[in-house]
A = this chain, B = another copy of it.
Amino acid sequence: MTTVSRRKFLSRIGAGTALLSVPSITSLSSDFFQGEKKLNIALVGLGYYSEFKLATALQETKHCQLAGIVTGTAAKAEKWKKQYNLSEKNIYNYQTFDRIADNKAIDVVYVALPNSMHHEFVIRAAKAGKHVICEKPMAVSVKECQEMIDACNKAKVKLAIGYRLHSEPYTQEAMRVGQQQVFGKVKIVESSMGFKIGDPTQWRLKKSMAGGGAMMDVGVYAIQAARYSTGEEPLYVTAQEFKTDPVKFKEVDETIFWQLEFPSGAVANSQTTYASSMERLFISAENGWLELRPAFGYGPIKGRTSQGELNLPNVNHQAMQMDDFALCLKENRESPVNGEEGLKDLKVVEAIYKAIATGGKVKI
């Protein structure tokens, strides 16, 4: 959509025809449609990611802003209220959260809770009539993902997964090179994402909270990357699990390698771990290659191809991601990282766990 057509679209909305011509949009503050006011976001869960990535990014966004919070910790509520000058009526805890349905000052709920809570809070947000951004992994099972998609469809709200990299220039270049066959057909993708996990008491190491280990947490980046590098959905997977520290990783997976086969014949070899550092995307095509390294962190992403260094803008991933979602809502477009996108990754995750359990090749 060009700038001109977007302006036309917005003027149509402004003329009061919005709810007829754009039936799936509900409960956006009407100011937002004037293109003057920003979309109002409430963050659910005030852990590290909300505090140091989302809240800070929301100081840089053009189309959205921090308007509310949902937290179980009264002291955090107090601190954030002061720091961001939040209105008392936009502050909720997990018990009062559903009342957000009555709050016209909140357009979007951003769920940044531990993995196992995504399902519940996305569905509650949808039932409250709010659009939702849900952190990755979307949920801990395909079944949960489908229920979340269904709930958002039923409530006519839009859902996006916190895949910030789809708004990031180096990642977009990787997609272009792979999907448009800039160096010919993609033959092999290597993708790795892992880090050495710290505090052994954190929720990421508890199966009930995280749903899985490195695979769930950062392995999804490597799955995503193989999918967007080829532009295809994988058909088959084999996988191997290793534990170099069986004590620390009693409940969840530590290190997993997996191999994906795509319809075109392209194959991916990917890895995730909580044991040590790794972070890379490599697309090897018939006549050249593209490499991002670092590839999946908060930036700066760096990249090069067989033709030389890539020099693309370094952006605030989270700010770009939230602004992109705001524009999707303005323009009544589906997010490119919608619930289906999150579900597709969980389908691969479940197939990987099955391949580990059976020791064989699994059809996805």
Q: Interface of A with B (CB < 8 Å)? A: 185, 187-188, 190, 192, 194, 196, 238, 240, 242-245, 255, 257, 259, 261, 265-267, 269, 271, 273, 275-278, 280, 282, 284-289, 306, 359-361
Q: In the bound complex, do residue A188 and residue B276 qualify as a contact, i.e. CB atoms below 8 Å apart?
A: yes
Oligomeric state, in copies: 2
A286/B276 in contact, CB under 8 A: yes
Partner of A278, one of B244, B278, B289: B289
A188-B284 contact, Cβ under 8 Å, with A242-B267, A244-B267, A360-B359: no
- Contact present for A286 and B196 (CB under 8 Å): yes
Closest chain B CB from A243 CB (angstroms)? 8
**In the complex where A244-B187, A277-B306 touch, is A269 in contact with B286 (Cβ < 8 A)?**
no
Lowest 7 CB-CB distances: which A-B pairs, in order?
Answer: A187-B276, A244-B265, A276-B284, A187-B275, A242-B267, A257-B269, A278-B284
| A-B contacts, 18 listed (Cβ < 8 Å) | A187-B244, A187-B276, A188-B255, A188-B278, A190-B192, A190-B271, A194-B284, A238-B238, A238-B240, A242-B265, A257-B259, A257-B267, A269-B271, A275-B284, A276-B286, A277-B284, A280-B282, A359-B361
Report chain B residues within 8 Å CB of A244: 185, 187, 265-267
Q: Which residues of B contact A282 (CB under 8 A)?
A: 278, 280
- With A255-B267, A259-B257, A261-B242: A273-B187 Cβ-Cβ less than 8 Å: yes
